[in-house]
Amino acid sequence: MRARRRPWLSDRKGQAAVELALILPVLVLLLLGMLQVGIVLQDYLQLQQAVEQGARAASLGAADATIQQTVDSAAPSLSPSALTVTVSPAAAERQSGTEITVQGSYGISISIPLLTPLIGGQLEISSQSVMRME
């Protein structure tokens, strides 16, 4: 005599729902991480371009305030309060033929709440450009 099959052992109606419930948080976290990396990359590229524009202005003999204003206007989506620009050498030491270094740093706050415990609340990006004074 054959053993009777138990119907609840062969019922697989909820298997897909359980698998989705297990993998969905991982997929959402991965998607949000990719989104945050895109935001950081966009800010970094804007910072890099703005610092290059500031170095170009510095190589033409602009004052430090003008260099700061050039960097701020070249990166319109970056918050000026979180953007720090340093120029070296000092204005008194700049002369034709010397190299001028413009360095910018920007603090990015993590905008996706699920990633804040993993990465931290703040990331610091920086860029530097060196040009010879004309």
| pLDDT single digits (tens) 73-95 | 999 899 888 899 999 888 788 88
The DSSP symbol for 98 reads -
* H or E element that contains 76: none
Q: Name, in order, each residue with C-beta under 8 angstroms of 116's C-beta and a sequence gap of 6 or more.
A: 110
Residue 79 tokens read as: 């918050």
| pTM of this structure | 0.77
What is the tens place of the pLDDT at every residue in 24-77? 998 988 898 888 889 889 999 999 999 999 999 999 888 899 999 999 999 989
Least confident segment among 7-16, 28-37, 116-125: 7-16
Cis amide leading into 80 (omega within 30):
no
User: What number of other Cβ atoms are within 10 A of residue 25's Cβ?
Assistant: 10
Instruction: Yes or no: say if 113 and 128 are a contact pair by the CB < 8 Å rule.
Output: no
Find, among 2, 124, 102, the residue nearest to 49 by Cα. 102
CA distance 43 to 85: 15
How confident is the model at residue 98, as a pLDDT?
87
